[in-house]
Amino acid sequence: MNFLSSIDPSRSFCEVTRRELLQRSAVGFGGLALESMLGQTQRETGSWTHHPSAAKRVIFLFMHGGPSHVDTFDYKPLLARDHDKPLPFAKPRVQFAQTGHLMASPWSFRRHGQSGQWASELFPHVAEMSDELCMIKSIYGSNEAHGGALLKIHTGSDTFVRPSMGSWVSYGLGSENQNLPAFVTIQPTLGHGGVQNFGSAFLPAAYQGVRIGHQGGDSKRLSIPNLKPPEGITRETQGRGLAYLERLNRLQLGAVGQDAYLESRIASFELAFRMQMEAPHWMDLSGVSSQRAKLYGMDSAHTERFARQCLLAARLSEAGVRFVQCSHAYWDQHSQLKKDHQRLAAEVDKPIAGLLQDLKARGLLEDTLVIWGGEFGRTPTAQGKDGRDHNPHAFTWWMAGGGVRGGFSHGATDEYGYYAVRDKVHVHDLHATILHLLGLDHERLTYRYAGRDFRLTDVDGKVVQPILRQTIMGSQSVGGGVKSVG
Amino acid sequence: MPRFLHSATKDMSFHLACLLSKTFSHLQGFSWRGFGGCLGTWCLMVACMLGYPGQADESSELWSLKPLQEDFLGGIDPWLNRGFQQMGLPPNPLADRYTWIRRATFDLTGLPPSPEEIIDFVEDASDHAYARLIDRLLASPRYGERWGRHWLDLVRYADTNGADENMAFPNAWRYRDYVIESFNRDKPYDVFLKEQIAGDLLPMSNDVATQADRLTALGMLAIGPKMLAEQDKEKLLFDVVDEQIDIVTRTFMGLSVACARCHDHKFDPITQEDYYALAGIFKSTQTMAHTDHVSRWVERVLPAPSKQQRQAAFDKEVAMLEKQLSEAQNEKGDSTEEGSQEASEAVQKALDALKQEGPGLPQVMSVREGKPENIPILHRGNHLLPGDETVQRGRISLLEKQLPVPEVAKNQSGRLELASWLADSRHPLVARVMVNRVWTWHFGKGLVDTPSDFGQHGGKPSHPMLLDGLARRFIQSGFSLKSLHREIMMSQAYRRTSRTHDEWQVRDPENRMLWRRQPLRLEAEPLRDAILHASGLLNLSRGDALGALKKNDQYFSELPGAFDAPYRAVYLPILRSRVYELFATFDFPDASAHLESRSRTLMPQQALFFMNDPLVSRAVSAMVDRSCLSGGCCVDDRLNHFYLSLLARLPTAEESALFDEYLRECQVAENGEISDTVWQQWVHLIMASNEFLILH
């Protein structure tokens, strides 16, 4: 039974304006898009971009709390030399807390791989993948508190309510798989911005992230709501019921006449039924080979939790989810840096390296952009005797796969790592670059709201060209045009 | 141009435009069809606009800033009929009574009519049946719960801060209840407006309740999301001011002023000076109690009720928390989720705090007068780059010739002057904007289809004279919303069927002429309430779903079980950092920002909800359980009862036949006995059908 063929495209288009179509049908979970029913399928299949894309999807490994860059990937030998001496230049006008003198890193650094990238002992497994990693060591934001910094990273603004990065991607590209959401966030924090970090703000609700679990929840019971029929109802019974539902709906339609919205709603049940057949398969990790599970560290108690997230992310990406975010907490060591950073790094190191290796082995790393980072870095100066304070003035992220240069390092901080100084990369620049890799021009991915066109990057943002494996010249349109609504 | 000639020309152009519209609509070729339709509509719009004296004038001034037109010509329908006549096409006929009572009841109360109410109405042959029904619905306390919720969308109501630190707002609910009560009491809109901007500055009232209302109303300014942990505290304060300007200007005037923080408005007559003239008013108002590491908002003590009343309220709250605590502890027993542990700790803490505090004085989130100051323009909105000269607060150039803002007293913030200016019956925007909002909430689309943007880039009114006429009548009625509802709902426009029509579909696909009733999908709250109400599971008391949140202003990202409370949706907690999934699925807004109207998306998750959500199953089985008691036990009676309860009508012959077919397939026992399971599956299907979710 095919509902879709019953809609006459030329007719429906008269009935519903394009703006309304985009506003209410969108490409939600599984990409049920009215417009796709109207024969505009490019967005569905991913061929709608401003320019050829290097990455088709994103996995964002978000380290909530702010991992210390000077203890992980941004090596500062002078910190050891000048340990306990005052910072020889001024601290920022606004600080989150008071800090004292410089503090050496408790970990030693060494070079890795052919590229010779620096990494500390905190990340032995990730360091082995150094030749795949593209380090960006000169990132800076504007907010010195977690909430503001999280919102800045996720939505581009710590002042106004704005759609999240994943929502923009989902709005721009739709879903690769009709039966799965375009944007999934696994166990995000519900504090520090909460839903806003994966919300759609003024974009249609269909573009918001589908949340699976939350921080602190049980990672063994991660699922999308309502994928299982009610107790006592078999698939067959439900299928039969839906056939009656369609007939019931058609009888009702008789009283109204042909209406695109109502017709589409009838079709949405067929999609939903297919989705509940397919989605649980991707969510269920029990069928994964033990070898693959082991690669992620599923077999060890302290890595199991994040391993599960990473493995789920890999599977969802493989199945066609555009943007998957994993979240890990809580890297906020105002004290006891050594003890807690050690523990936290050990929880994620192996799962992350496993994810990279797995994606590579499956040929997915090529067009999947993996991103690692937190909401800010930490101060090279000590807070108390053994902690570091928030530092939005300099931090390091790395990217891998999806069109970035592996074994490459971009930008630099000052000799102690307090401020980004060379080839500085603002959060807007990061966003512009991520969109660029996905084939979207951040200046043309706009949405009209309250009388003006909004973007993820507000009025700023420059693509960080040096980190691109291939510089894509200009942004000639392929099958597109200005992506805007209204 | 001589006046008579001017008017003759306009009339001719109106006819010409209509003629063109007809011509285009006859281009029915395959690919021309949609195109012709669009052009047809466009011409139609031009025709309507031309009928508007203010519009074709040479002046380029924004239409929405011109004074209201004088004449109304006896109601809504003559204005719409004029369009139908010109088009030469009759509108849809009037809907039957079943359709109408469902439409009106959901519309005014957010709930479905009961089978008894339907039968009463359908059998009441008198001419006054419609008016009586409208009056009954307007008098119901359910009305405020429905229409108050519309208002709460505009003012981004929530029970937690959201933003960076999601702390509970233990007293925000008092503002919510104030809004609901104001609608129920048909508080004049100008008073409602003044209370929310300057309640504390109005002449003192001797009535304790009135005075309490006025402090509570100021919650509108206070409940916005704030970056409490922002360490640049001056920036925090300016961001709070910015948020208040945004809410006030968009809600009451339908203009976005906030973009003038950094530059003159690109399209509308709002300068950067205007922004800082408003900013001075709110900067002179105190919203934050302190700006320590994690800042804190102002709360004010309400005028005291008697000691006895306070003791009674205290006892009630203690009992409520104790009950909640034992529930949370039971839940903890069979759950490993950290959430429930958190929840019972939170309740315990709240209970301890309450007991220690004793029967205290109620507090509200509010604002108070701060240090009066004028502020300079900030370069690019940056507080570190102030200009040299300050801007006189309150002195804004918008409407300065027709209706200047009264001079602000030296020792006051200027909120009172701002509120008086907005509430002035000569203000061209305020009544137009509100009337258009009410129209939008009734019809799904406004006469101006951008309810919060009456600026240059917003939509233009489809029926400008009608909009002005309604606005004028609204003012004349003493800003009575209930009168406005009556006016709108008694019109034929409100009563039409939703049936589509081939010819109209081409000529006016967007239904701007209102030739049919636009079918509307229920929003999240009426949908959820209807499911529970039809099955007898909804508790219509105000209840207390906020629980611990009311007594503990800590971080609340979870409130386990709170969304399962049996009270109306409007009383469920709104946690900015965690939206109730059911609501999110059906387009409940981000409660951090002003929302002019709900989107109505179509997503497969919505179908999954109807197929699999436990809430639906629970409601369905409750409904089947009760049906023998309320509907009679024979098969036909029960079937009729389900149709009346869910779709507000009786099954058609075809539907009955389909039901028989279904029974045959389910192999009903020889004796004709239909098991509950078979019933449940059928009721489930009716609930999942289009018609349950759609208002026709």
Residue contacts between A and B (CB atoms, under 8 Å): 255
ipTM of the complex: 0.82
Rounded to the nearest angstrom, the minimum Cα separation between A444 and chain B is 19
A452 and B266 in contact by Cβ < 8 A?
A: yes
Contact criterion met (CB < 8 Å) for B608 and A226: yes
Q: Are residues B595 and B154 in contact, defined by beta-carbon separation less than 8 angstroms?
A: yes
Instruction: Spell out the residues 6+ positions from residue A265 whose beta carbon is closer than 8 angstroms to its own.
Output: A249, B602, B607, B690, B693
**How distant is the Cα of B308 from the closest Cα of chain A, in angstroms?**
39
Other C-beta atoms closer than 10 Å to the C-beta of A86 total: 10
**Along the 486 residues of chain A, how does pLDDT read in single tens digits?**
222 222 222 322 223 333 333 333 333 333 333 333 333 333 444 457 899 999 999 999 999 999 999 999 999 999 999 999 999 999 998 888 889 999 999 999 999 999 999 999 999 999 999 999 999 999 999 888 898 999 999 999 988 889 999 999 999 998 888 788 899 999 998 888 888 899 888 887 778 888 888 887 778 878 888 988 888 888 888 988 999 999 999 998 888 887 777 888 888 898 888 888 888 889 899 999 999 999 999 999 999 999 999 999 999 999 999 999 999 999 999 999 999 999 999 999 999 999 999 999 999 999 999 999 999 999 999 999 999 999 999 999 999 999 999 999 999 999 999 999 999 999 999 999 999 999 999 999 999 877 778 999 999 999 999 999 975 444 433 333 333 332
Phi, psi angle pair for A397, to nearest 5°: -120, 155
Helix, strand, coil proportions of chain B in percent (round to 5)? 55, 5, 40
Copy the structure tokens of residue B394: 């309150």
pLDDT value for B6:
43
Nearest CA in chain A to B596: A450
Say how far apart CA B247 and CA B262 lie, in whole Å: 17
Question: Residue B429: which residues within 8 A CB-CB, separation 6 or more?
Answer: B64, B65, B252, B253, B254, B255, B454
Residue B12 CA to residue B1 CA, distance in Å, equals 15
Please name the residues in contact with A254: beta carbons below 8 A apart, sequence gap of 6 or more.
Answer: none
Residues 6+ apart with CB under 8 A from B33: A10, A11, A14, B27, B506
**Residue B515, φ and ψ in degrees, nearest 5:** -80, -15
- The answer, yes or no, to whether residue B316 has pLDDT greater than 90, is no
Contact A145 B606 (CB under 8 A): no
Tell me if B162 sits within 8 A of B576, measured CB to CB: yes
Angle (deg, nearest 10), helices B97-109 and B481-489: 160
* Bridge partners of residue A356, in order along the sequence: none
pLDDT at B56 > cutoff 70:
no
**Nearest CA-CA distance, residue B504 and chain A, Å:** 10
- For A454-484, write each residue's pLDDT tens digit: 999 999 999 999 999 975 444 433 333 333 3
| Residue A184: strand, helix, or coil | strand
Task: Give the model's confidence band at B687: pLDDT under 50 very low, under 70 low, under 90 confident, else very high.
Answer: very high
Chain A residue whose CA is closest to B451: A450
Tokens of A471: 């510089």
Q: Which contiguous run of DSSP H or E holds residue B283? A: helix B272-283
> Which tokens go with A134?
């593209």
| Contact partners, residue A413, CB within 8 Å, separation at least 6 | A69, A74, A76, A137, A138, A394, A419, A420, A421
Q: Are A52 and A440 in contact (CB under 8 A)?
A: no
Find out whether B627 and B641 touch, Cβ atoms under 8 Å: yes
Give the list of residues 6+ apart from residue A150 with CB closer than 8 angstroms, or none.
A64, A189, A192, A193, A197, A375, B164
Complete DSSP assignment for B381-421: G-TTSEEEEEE-TT---TTTTTSPPPPPPTTS-SHHHHHHH
User: Using CB atoms, which residue from A228, A229, A252 is nearest to B691?
Assistant: A252
Distance, CA of B598 to CA of A24 (rounded, Å): 10
- pLDDT tens digit sequence for B320-331: 888 877 776 775
Determine the residue among A14, A64, A218 to mutate to test chain B binding: the one whose Cβ has the most chain B Cβ atoms within 10 Å: A14
Give the nearest partner residue to B612 out of A13, A226, A261, using CB atoms: A226
Q: Are strands A133-140 and A425-426 parallel, antiparallel or unpaired?
A: parallel
Question: Is A377:A396 a contact under the CB 8 Å cutoff?
Answer: yes
Write the residue in B452, B506, B602 that is nearest to A32 by C-beta: B602
CA distance A185 to A249: 34
More confident: B52 or B524: B524
Q: What share of chain A is helix, strand, coil (3-state, %, to 5)?
A: 40, 20, 45
Smallest CA–CA distance, residue B179 to chain A, in Å, is 24
Residue B20 clears pLDDT 80, i.e. is over it: no
Which of A16, A23, A241 is the closest to B681 by Cβ? Answer: A241
Q: List, in sequence order, every residue forming a beta bridge with A412; answer none if it has no partner.
A: A422
Given an 8 Å threshold on Cβ–Cβ distance, is A204 in contact with B601? yes
3-state secondary structure B54-79: CCCCCCCCCHHHCCCCCCCCCCHHHH
B134 by DSSP, 3-state: which? helix
Nearest-angstrom CA–CA distance, A314 and A320: 10
Q: Which residue of A has its CA nearest to B609?
A: A226
Give chain B's radius of gyration (CA, Å).
27
Distance from CA of B240 to the nearest CA of A (A): 10
Candidates B268, B665, B690, partner chain A, best to mutate (most A CBs within 10 A): B690
Q: Are A142 and A155 in contact (CB under 8 A)?
A: no
Spatial CB neighbours of B687, under 8 Å, sequence gap ≥ 6: B531, B610, B616, B619, B620, B646
DSSP 8-state code for residue B178: H
Are B231 and A96 in contact (CB < 8 Å)?
yes
Taking CB atoms and an 8 Å cutoff, what residues of chain A touch B600? 24
How close does chain A come to B105, measured CA to CA in Å?
20
**pLDDT value at residue A21:** 38
pLDDT at position B73 is 66
Q: Which of B158, B403, B409, B398 is nearest to B274 (CA)?
A: B398
Give the SS3 label for residue B180.
helix
> Is beta strand A323-329 parallel, antiparallel or unpaired with respect to A183-186?
parallel
The pair of structure tokens assigned to A119 is 């990494």
Q: Rounded distance, CA B183 to CA B149, Å?
A: 10
Whole-angstrom Cα distance, residue A255 to residue B694?
A: 13
Amino acid at B312: A
- Residue of A195, A241, A255 lying closest to B579 (CB–CB): A195
Mutation site for A-interface testing, chosen from B92, B164, B345 by largest number of A Cβ within 10 Å: B164
Chain A residues lying within 8 Å of B603, measured CB to CB: 26, 28-29, 32, 205-206, 268
Which amino acid type is present at position A356? L
Of B501, B578, B611, the CB nearest to A195: B578
- What DSSP letter does each residue of A88-104 carry, written as one string? SSPPPSS-SS---SB--
Residue A65: what are its φ and ψ, rounded to 5°?
Answer: 120, -30
> Among partner residues A28, A191, A199, which is closest to B590 by beta-carbon distance?
A199
The per-residue pLDDT for A43 is 42
How far is the alpha carbon of A179 from chain B, nearest alpha carbon, in Å?
9
Q: How far apart are CA A151 and CA A160, in angstroms?
A: 9
Residue in A with minimal Cα distance to B681: A241
Confidence of residue B333 (pLDDT cuts 50, 70, 90): low
Q: Contact B505/A15, CB-based, under 8 Å? A: yes
Q: Which two tokens stand for residue A131?
A: 């030749």
Residue A65: other Cβ atoms inside 10 A: 24
pLDDT above 90 covers a percentage of chain B that reads 61
Distance from CA of A100 to the nearest CA of B (A): 18
Q: Give CA–CA dist B693/B528, Å, rounded.
A: 10
Whole-angstrom distance, CA of residue B394 vs CA of residue A70: 50
- Angstrom CA distances, A137 to A95, A103, A397, B160, B179, stand at 21, 19, 7, 36, 51
Give me the residues paired with residue B496 across strands. Answer: B94
Is residue A365 within 8 A of residue A228, CB to CB? The reply is no
Q: In the block, which residue shows the tokens 């074994």?
A: A407
**Chain A partners within 8 Å of B521 (Cβ):** 261
Nearest to A184 by CA among A100, A271, A279: A279
| Cis peptide leading into residue B52 (ω within 30°) | no
Please count the residues of chain B. Answer: 696
Total residue length of chain A: 486
Contact A276, B612 (CB under 8 A): yes
Instruction: Note whether B601 contacts A148, CB cutoff 8 Å.
Output: no
**According to the model, what pLDDT value does residue B340 have?**
56
- Amino acid B517 reads R
Q: Which residue of B has its CA nearest to A163?
A: B590
3 state DSSP class of B518: coil
Residues in a beta bridge with B285:
B369
Q: What pTM was computed for the model?
A: 0.80
